[in-house]
A and B are shown apart, each in its own frame.
Chain A
């Protein structure tokens, strides 16, 4: 039997449903093909009672069927009633096996043997049919499932949910909500931040964690699955926990084979790449349109709008603008030259290398979170020491990086298509150099969240950013007249690896000549002397190791292991050797660095007998400090308990320098060998507090300090995320009378933080002060520097950077 339709829509999810109902409204002959016996299988399979969200909220819904945030059941019921009322032609149990033919005459072959004829085909099949699989050993065991229908089914189980996207979070919450089920639920997220989940879901997850209903592990990946157990690779090392069931929700990829067989091309070879599409959703096969999740749009509202739009386009509507056009037009209005929104999008996409891999649709979404800016020649884009974590890319023109802070005329040019500012994105550190426009330029400023999303959804962009940042890091580290063309071979032979805390990259006595550059995190260098590991050195991000074996030959002379979870760039030794051979200056520089390390080795070797207690003691102290988070600190307050008389003047000074609230607790914290680490901010390299700040109020300042600005809403996320307990939630106390008033007339509570009682009695009853997060800001902006150190009468309080403190070379100077 052959039927002929104007449009055949494959898949009855939000996108397909919207398309079919639009076709019905326009009286176009159509058929909506659904492989199951119900509409919208993906939402149908959402767990029972799931609250479905309607984001992004600023987007207007255009579809003919209604959709608003609400329960899964309500939404499905509405859609059922409305599709019937609108006389949408639905054909259930119709799974498409193949699509043949060309525009105007497609033949859709179904699994039941029927062939359906249509002039145009809209593919709205989503990606749910093709979930990303567990790749670790044991990933094929039967207790791993990729879907959760009814969380009420499971009781008394230890369940691990892998992946903290929206699906994973909702599954985990569903399993943990009812305490009667007595499930122990663990949710695991690969990175420290939740880059793909909706805000509301993240909040619900955090409150469930705080209520003790589930365990949230971030920066963690599963490394081994066994029956009854799962092993995680966590930032603190390996953890093997009980696990009866694994629910893997790590996203899904398009069912590529089927789509390619239809004649549709994809943007790249990546497993998670999307089909190439025109702005009108038409694929490379004329007459086949792709919308919804398969086009790279996982959000229901987007899908429904696309369903509406694609039918309008097929119907010959040339003037329809996508729903987000006004938002984008506003972003582009200050750019020179008259271009339409689509032209601008294409201009930016084709000119910027990291955006090449985006489909026009992804490009639209990407630009919603980013800004396009025009800079006149010589206009400053950002200045050295500015805080900033955004990434810039150059769509036209070129920028100049001022490499010498004292001489603005010394510059390096970065041309069209490339990126800059990536150091801020990767390390969270302030801008390292001033960048100005070398000619009239158009740049795209990508916010940190948009950049993270871009990297997680477009692997090609992630690789491009990694390659450029690696190249820059190499150029910056080795300098010596190195040019980027010299590095091509090295860059082709390097890879970025994540090393969890405690794992080593180099083991003493092993063969190997690879070089490792620490990209984030930090490492410690140890050497076995007299059967004991002696702590030689601490390497912060931006250092390299491994050159000794490469240059001098022989086995590894020391062990290098990660102090905290770290990213390293592993460079193939042979490629690097070739580079060194061609670059005598570079070789000389590397040899100088090596000599310094050999000195330390020789020193420790020489002293190992006479000095063994001192070296031992030093090793123990260094290890103690690393355990206490100094490994990820940039600046930490230490107290020498040989000198501390317990006067608490540091706390008083801190309170008096900061609105009457102390940001440190001197007495609390760990002590080893009279070295005390008080409860006070360490200004981590990758601050845990920054990971989830709804108003984005936590920044890194010009001196490396991590501070919270006035936009804090007092949610307490940072306090919960800080592993060192240094953030307090407090309301600012009323102002005190001056010190002289207190000294001479006894007015007010005296120096230091006033008691709660005094604050309460002296508060202005008309002003209600909310509790906000407070933490050490290293007295930024206060002349003279950190008050705690200035106000210590005995010199017990010191602030140190780990790389200054943690080196065995200090023993030689006799001050360790």
Chain B
């Protein structure tokens, strides 16, 4: 297009050329996968080529080298949490950090395993190894969740926001409250039970499973349906209005619960990943101190 190119500042240009549509896994054409793969390969080959007597173990010069690299990596990988939260100036990209975090973290499987020399037992050293593997496994789970759930979250949201969902719920509740005023005691109690219940309560497991068998709204709706379903539509029966409102509330609840479930699934692994990391660092300290103490 002639004359179409407009001059722009160098800063924004840099951001744009930063691979417009590559996610953290593909970042810079898999740069960090290649680096991490290279490191693992070098470790593996050297493990096979270096002849350590009497056998490979964490205490040899080779074992120490791998151990130092592994410990350094663990500490650096932990720093992602700080990087993410500290919004400093400069030409860094959190996407690049995440990419490196993922692939270098995976390379730890090779590095740390080779560091053990496959000598595992019931001791603090193996504890550190196991904790590290747990962190890595939770991380792999996290990556898979990150890879599949975003589009599901977006599709379920369908251009509404969480705030809007909750606002709709409140407004339906208000209407239900008004519409139930003229109902007989029994049905009014059903509606009240729907209004009184915390529709998202019941703990994290319930939220993750998205099973709400005792949902008062659904119970109220089916009860009212059972009594009023057979009656002919008159158009001005307050029960019909309540019926319609409850139906609306059920559909809003379904979307909101699904939304909260997906958000919980996207976050819950971090509640394993992060505390395990701290446990790992503690075990790592014990492992290193004990190694040097009992030299």
Contacts and interface: CB of A to CB of B under 8 A. Distances in A.
Given A653-B87, A703-B8, A703-B12, A791 B94 contact: yes
Interface in A522-546: 537, 539-540, 542-544
Given A640-B21, A649-B84, A782-B89, A794 B3 contact: no
Contact of A641 (B15, B91, B98, B154): B154
A704 B159 contact: no
Contact of A783 (B89, B97, B151): B89
A800 B24 CA distance: 18
A186 B57 CA distance: 85
A4 interface: no
A526 B23 CA distance: 31
Given A667-B161, A703-B9, A804-B16, A544 B23 contact: no
A652 B2 contact: no
B1 interface: yes
B105 to A, nearest CB: 14
B93 A540 contact: no
Interface in A499-556: 537, 539-540, 542-544
Contacts, number: 168
A539 to B, nearest CB: 6
A794 B95 contact: yes
A751 B82 CA distance: 11
Nearest to B151: A642
B103 to A, nearest CB: 14
Contacts of B22: 795
Interface stretch (A6-14, A334-342, A366-374, A668-676): A668-676
Given A537-B1, A543-B3, A544-B3, A793 B84 contact: yes
Given A542-B3, A784-B90, A803-B4, A793 B15 contact: no
Contact of A644 (B87, B150, B159): B150
B21 A785 contact: no
Contacts of B11: 703, 784-785
Interface string A121-147: 000000000000000000000000000
Interface in B53-109: 81-82, 84-87, 89-95, 97-98
Contacts of A676: 154
Given A539-B1, A540-B4, A784-B90, A778 B12 contact: yes
B3 A476 contact: yes
Given A739-B85, A787-B87, A795 B27 contact: yes
10 tightest A-B CB contacts, nearest first: A703-B9, A641-B154, A656-B87, A795-B95, A593-B2, A667-B161, A477-B3, A783-B89, A785-B11, A739-B86
Interface of A: 429, 432, 476-477, 537, 539-540, 542-544, 589-590, 593, 596-597, 634-635, 640-647, 649, 652-653, 656-657, 665, 667-671, 674, 676, 702-704, 739-740, 742-743, 750-751, 778, 782-787, 789-796, 798-801, 803-804, 815
Given A641-B150, A652-B87, A815-B21, 18 more contacts: A429-B6, A642-B151, A645-B149, A645-B150, A668-B161, A671-B158, A671-B159, A676-B154, A739-B85, A751-B87, A782-B89, A783-B91, A784-B90, A785-B15, A793-B95, A795-B21, A795-B95, A801-B16
Interface of B: 1-9, 11-12, 14-16, 18-24, 27, 81-82, 84-87, 89-95, 97-98, 146, 149-151, 153-154, 157-159, 161-163, 263, 266
24 contacts: A477-B2, A543-B4, A596-B1, A635-B12, A642-B150, A643-B150, A645-B150, A668-B161, A671-B157, A671-B159, A674-B151, A702-B9, A750-B85, A751-B87, A782-B89, A783-B89, A784-B89, A791-B84, A793-B95, A793-B97, A794-B23, A794-B146, A795-B27, A803-B5
